């Protein structure tokens, strides 16, 4: 009787303890990566290889999405702004919304689903096929050899991708606002330049994307390393990477915005 | 894939990233390296600065000639003391006047400078004496209402006076 009554409570306690344990494990994992990352800079081609897979191969999706997001911002912004007779402020609207929020957040979400999931699947599969254990047997530290280069590649790639997303988005907004709708080109750029501040908007956006890069890549490599070494385990770890990254990006974005602006 | 190819692509990737950040700083944020030598300070005191903000443009005939460097309250006389940072290329005479204007109906506020006729120019750190404050909408409406009420009272007063005389 007592057992069945307390079962939901015990389940809740188990879930809570498990969540806290995983958080602690992830923090120690981050510390281990930082301590073991000497090799990923001494043997730079390890990291460069991962930058290629995480960053260069994400270029297409980032550029195309950035362009379309900027174009949609241009259209919707024009519709709303022209209702208040201030369509001239379109450049400022497009640039500020991209630089402050949309660029870092959307680039990080795309990066998490494009590269984060790939990292998790790769490391999880290495674990399932016992390649990580084989490395340990050969006295090669798998964190230094496999995890740390991927982590640093993600941290390096993320700000670059976010900056690129911003630039293509601004060009998308420019294309719609100036070329299609026919706003004045000079007003578009000068309104943008008047309202965008280098430190407040550009640098803070890049700092945001750096934080997102750290969070997304840490989640990706951690889920891969922690995956249950079966086919189903790798698949659920990949799913968890995308879901957790999305939630963490949005929550972190709120916290960072509250501190920055 | 060969290592040199990967190196090349990563090189291109990083170069694109640097180009993007440079574009954002130069073209979007309009970062112009402005050293302290290229500008000089002037200050002006206003009764009311309205919604003027630091870094608002200072314009003369519509041309941006500087920025608002700082805004503080002079606690001796309770006037707003606005420090302007003007481009060295532009010199203004001693009887220049400064006024706070609004760009457009709801736009941001800026300081407009009107050149005077004095042959001597203002030196760095000197004060612009002739200033006119920002138009505050509530005060404007208040004055208008007062005028209106006074006129109304005068109109009502005169027929009442004439009827009394009859």
**Distance set, CA A47 to CA A98, A155, A190, A211, A237 (Å):** 29, 11, 40, 19, 23
The whole-number pLDDT of residue B165 equals 45
Q: Which chain B residue shows the shortest CA-CA distance from A162?
A: B17
Is the distance from CB of A226 to CB of A237 less than 8 angstroms? yes
Residue whose C-alpha is closest to residue A212's, from A160, A249, A256, A174: A249
| Residue B10 scores a pLDDT above 80 | yes
**More confidently predicted of B53 and B36:** B53
| Residue B164 scores a pLDDT above 50 | no
Alpha helices (H) along A84-203: 90-97, 103-111, 117-128, 131-137, 142, 148-174, 185-195
| Residue B163 scores a pLDDT above 50 | no
List pLDDT tens digits, range A81-109. Answer: 989 888 888 999 999 999 999 999 999 99
CA A227/CA A229 separation, integer angstroms: 6
**Mean per-residue pLDDT, B126-135:** 86
Residues B13, A159: C-beta atoms closer than 8 Å: no
Residues A48, B10: C-beta atoms closer than 8 Å: yes
The domain limits of chain A are 36-260
The whole-number pLDDT of residue B156 equals 75
Residue whose C-alpha is closest to residue A116's, from A5, A213, A261: A213
Is the distance from CB of A82 to CB of A181 less than 8 angstroms? no
Q: What percent of chain B has pLDDT over 90?
A: 14
The whole-number pLDDT of residue A162 equals 96
Q: What percent of chain A has pLDDT over 70?
A: 100
Residue position matching structure tokens 């943008």:
A192
Residues B28, A49: C-beta atoms closer than 8 Å: no
Mutate to test the interface with B, among A58, A62, A172, A202 (most CBs of B within 10 A): A202
**More confidently predicted of A62 and B151:** A62
Residues A192, B31: C-beta atoms closer than 8 Å: no
The shortest C-alpha distance from B103 to chain A (Å) reads: 12
For A49, the closest of B6, B14, B57 (CB atoms) is B6
Residue whose C-alpha is closest to residue B9's, from A212, A50, A209: A50
**Mean per-residue pLDDT, A223-243:** 94
| Residue B54 scores a pLDDT above 90 | no
**Mean per-residue pLDDT, B131-156:** 85
Question: Out of A194-208, A212-226, B103-117, which region has the weakest mean confidence (pLDDT)?
Answer: B103-117
The shortest C-alpha distance from B7 to chain A (Å) reads: 7
The whole-number pLDDT of residue A224 equals 94
Burial of A57 (0-12, 13-18, 19+ CB in 10 A): middle
Q: How confident is the model at residue B166 (pLDDT cuts 50, 70, 90)?
A: very low
CA B62/CA B85 separation, integer angstroms: 17
Interface confidence, given as ipTM, is 0.83
| Residue B136 scores a pLDDT above 90 | no
Residue whose C-alpha is closest to residue A204's, from B100, B93, B82, B24: B24
Residue position matching structure tokens 């259209």:
A75
Mutate to test the interface with B, among A164, A201, A203 (most CBs of B within 10 A): A164
| DSSP per-residue string spanning B125-164 | T-EE-EEEPPPPHHHHHHHHHHHHHHHHHHHHHHHHHHHH
Q: How confident is the model at residue A232 (pLDDT cuts 50, 70, 90)?
A: very high
**Mean per-residue pLDDT, A29-38:** 92
DSSP bridge pairs for B74? B79
CA A23/CA A29 separation, integer angstroms: 10
The whole-number pLDDT of residue B157 equals 67
If one counts every other C-beta atom within 10 angstroms of the C-beta of residue B81, the result is 17
pTM, 2 dp: 0.75
The shortest C-alpha distance from A141 to chain B (Å) reads: 23
Q: Which two tokens stand for residue A46?
A: 């390890």
- What's the angle, vertex CA A166, arms to CA A162 and CA A169, rounded to 5? 130
Residues of B with CB under 8 A from a CB of A: 1, 3, 6-7, 9-10, 12-14, 16-17, 20-21, 23-25, 27-31, 57, 106
Rg (CA), chain A: 22
**Distance set, CA A148 to CA A212, A241, B48 (Å):** 17, 17, 59
The domain limits of chain B are 38-139
Measured between beta carbons, which residues in chain A are less than 8 angstroms from residue B29?
193, 196-198, 201-202
For A52, the closest of B10, B27, B106 (CB atoms) is B10
**More confidently predicted of A3 and A67:** A67
Measured between beta carbons, which residues in chain B are less than 8 angstroms from residue A45?
3, 6-7
The shortest C-alpha distance from B131 to chain A (Å) reads: 25
| Residue B118 scores a pLDDT above 90 | no
List pLDDT tens digits, range A236-251. Answer: 999 999 999 999 999 9
The whole-number pLDDT of residue B25 equals 86
Q: Which residues are within 8 A (CB) of B128 and not within 5 positions of it... i.e. 6 or more apart? A: B42, B43, B44, B92, B96, B97, B98, B113, B122
| Residue B1 scores a pLDDT above 90 | no
Residue position matching structure tokens 């889920």:
A223
**Mean per-residue pLDDT, A162-185:** 93
For B28, the closest of A48, A49, A170 (CB atoms) is A170
CA A212/CA A218 separation, integer angstroms: 10
Residues A196, B28: C-beta atoms closer than 8 Å: yes
**More confidently predicted of B105 and B83:** B83
Is the distance from CB of A212 to CB of A106 less than 8 angstroms? no
**Mean per-residue pLDDT, A186-202:** 85
């Amino acid at each position: 009787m007592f057992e069945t009554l307390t079962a939901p409570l015990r389940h809740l306690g188990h879930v809570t303890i498990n969540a806290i344990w995983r958080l602690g494990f992830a923090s120690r994992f981050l510390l281990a990566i930082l301590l073991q990352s000497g090799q990923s800079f001494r043997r730079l081609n390890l990291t460069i290889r991962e930058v290629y897979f995480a960053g260069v191969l994400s270029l297409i999706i980032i550029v195309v999405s950035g362009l379309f997001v900027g174009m949609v911002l241009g259209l919707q912004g024009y519709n709303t702004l022209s209702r208040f007779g201030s369509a001239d402020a379109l450049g400022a609207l497009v640039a500020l919304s991209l630089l402050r929020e949309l660029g870092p957040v959307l680039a990080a979400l795309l990066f998490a689903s494009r590269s984060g999931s790939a990292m998790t699947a790769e490391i999880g599969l290495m674990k399932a096929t016992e390649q990580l254990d084989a490395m340990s047997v050969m006295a090669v530290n798998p964190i230094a050899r496999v995890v740390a280069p991927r982590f640093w590649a993600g941290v390096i790639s993320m700000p670059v991708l976010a900056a690129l997303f911003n630039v293509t988005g601004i060009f998308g907004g420019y294309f719609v606002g100036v070329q299609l709708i026919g706003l004045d080109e000079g007003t578009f750029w000068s309104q943008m330049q008047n309202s965008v501040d280098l430190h407040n908007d550009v640098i803070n956006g890049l700092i945001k994307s750096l934080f997102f890069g750290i969070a997304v890549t840490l989640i990706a490599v951690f889920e891969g390393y922690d995956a249950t070494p079966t086919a189903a385990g790798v698949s659920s770890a990949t799913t968890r990477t995308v879901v957790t990254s999305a939630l963490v990006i949005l929550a972190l974005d709120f916290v960072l915005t509250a501190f920055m602006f | 894939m060969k290592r040199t190819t990967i190196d090349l692509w990563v090189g291109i990737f990083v170069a694109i990233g640097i180009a993007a950040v440079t574009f954002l700083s130069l073209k979007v944020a309009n970062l112009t390296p402005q050293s302290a030598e290229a500008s000089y300070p002037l200050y002006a005191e206003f009764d009311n600065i309205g919604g003027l903000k630091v870094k608002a443009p200072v314009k003369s005939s519509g041309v941006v000639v500087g920025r608002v460097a700082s805004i503080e309250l002079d606690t001796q006389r309770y006037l707003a003391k606005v420090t302007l940072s003007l481009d060295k290329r532009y010199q203004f005479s001693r009887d220049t006047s400064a006024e706070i204007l609004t760009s457009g109906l709801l736009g941001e506020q800026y300081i407009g400078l009107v050149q005077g006729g004095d042959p001597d120019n203002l030196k760095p750190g000197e004060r612009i004496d002739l200033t006119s404050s920002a138009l505050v909408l509530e005060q404007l409406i208040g004055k208008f209402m007062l005028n209106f009420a006074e006129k109304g009272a005068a109109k009502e007063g005169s027929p009442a006076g004439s009827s009394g005389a009859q």
